[in-house]
A and B are shown apart, each in its own frame.
Chain A
Amino acid sequence: MTTQVNIRLDERLIMEIDALTRMLHIPRSEWMRMKLAEAVKDSILKYREALALEYNKGHISFEDLHAALGKDAEDVRTVQEMTKKGKKEIDKLFVK
């Protein structure tokens, strides 16, 4: 499934993209889709720890986390739950 997204780009940038895509013999839209996908993957890799922390603080939902990290989101949730549970277990040792 795809959704159309309209964006306005600087003319100079469009000219550079067109020069590149003519050289590569691929349509502009295909090249842009590919580059956008690469950038998203790179950012997820770079910010995955920040995403985990944002989820831990309740700033983003599990659905958002899952959209970014896929199955790894389950691990983040497990780590969060076990960190909280483990803290309680240690606290129990100090109850007088």
Chain B
Amino acid sequence: MTIFAVDTCSLIALQYSGHLEAIFKNMDLIITRKIHSELEEMKKFSDDDGAAAEGILGSVRGLTVVETRSKPTGEEELIELAFHKKCDFIVSDDLRALSKLTKVGIPVIFSTHILYYLYRKGIISKDDCMIALEKMWNRRSWKDARTKELISIATSVL
């Protein structure tokens, strides 16, 4: 089974897609202790992202928390996982972290690719995939316009 190590912002985006349950059921997703605690922190906020974090943690049985050496950020712990070959893909929408993540030598993909995976596996239709991307685009309270561009580009490429 292919293992996907996912960061916090990608999980939030996938929660907004409305397909997180199907993702947990059909894919092997792992997170680190730091990412789990980032979600716990996020849950405390009474905004959309807080509610999304709460939703993810509510279905956390679909996620495996893998222990790593403790690092200051979730991305650094994902690098640690990749370095020890504990995952096949890193999933991150954090453009600022990409330069570090891509140096590890395993494929780095966006949350949008997870939806594409579901489509390729026949779990969702192409239309479902497009609707999910639209939901992600609409619902994410993006602090960064670049992430909206990321979804728009995915809509035309995938």
Residues of A within 8 A of B (CB): 48-49, 52-53, 56-57, 72, 75-76, 78-80, 82-87, 89-91, 93-94
- Within 8 Å by CB of A52, from B112, B113, B117, B153, lies B153
| Contact A86:B152 (CB < 8 A) given known A75-B95, A79-B95 | no
B116 within 8 A of A: yes
Complex: chain B residue closest to A84, CB-CB? B157
- Within 8 Å by CB of B157, from A48, A87, A94, lies A87
Residues of B within 8 A of A (CB): 2, 89, 95, 98, 107-110, 112-113, 116-117, 120-121, 145-146, 148-150, 152-154, 156-158
- Within 8 Å by CB of B120, from A82, A85, A90, lies A90
Q: Is the interface of A mostly helix, strand, loop or mixed?
A: helix
Contact assessment for B153 and A80 in the assembled complex, using a CB-CB cutoff below 8 Å: yes
Number of cross-chain contacts by CB at 8 Å: 74
Given known contacts A49-B148, A72-B146, what 20 new A-B pairs fall within 8 Å (CB)? A48-B145, A53-B152, A53-B156, A56-B153, A57-B156, A78-B95, A80-B157, A82-B109, A83-B110, A83-B150, A83-B154, A86-B109, A86-B110, A86-B113, A86-B116, A87-B116, A89-B107, A90-B120, A93-B117, A93-B120
Contact assessment for B154 and A52 in the assembled complex, using a CB-CB cutoff below 8 Å: no
- Shortest beta-carbon distance, B156 to chain A, in Å? 6
Interface CB pairs A-B, < 8 A, 12: A53-B152, A53-B153, A76-B149, A79-B150, A80-B153, A80-B157, A82-B110, A83-B150, A86-B116, A87-B158, A89-B107, A93-B120
| Contact A93:B2 (CB < 8 A) given known A56-B156, A78-B95 | yes
Give bound CA distance, A95 to B154, whole Å.
Answer: 21
Specify which chain B residues have a CB less than 8 angstroms from the CB of A72 in the assembled complex. Answer: 146
Specify which chain A residues have a CB less than 8 angstroms from the CB of B98 in the assembled complex. Answer: 78, 82
Contact assessment for B149 and A83 in the assembled complex, using a CB-CB cutoff below 8 Å: no
Specify which chain A residues have a CB less than 8 angstroms from the CB of B113 in the assembled complex. Answer: 83, 86-87, 89-90
- Shortest beta-carbon distance, A70 to chain B, in Å? 13
Specify which chain A residues have a CB less than 8 angstroms from the CB of B145 in the assembled complex. Answer: 48-49
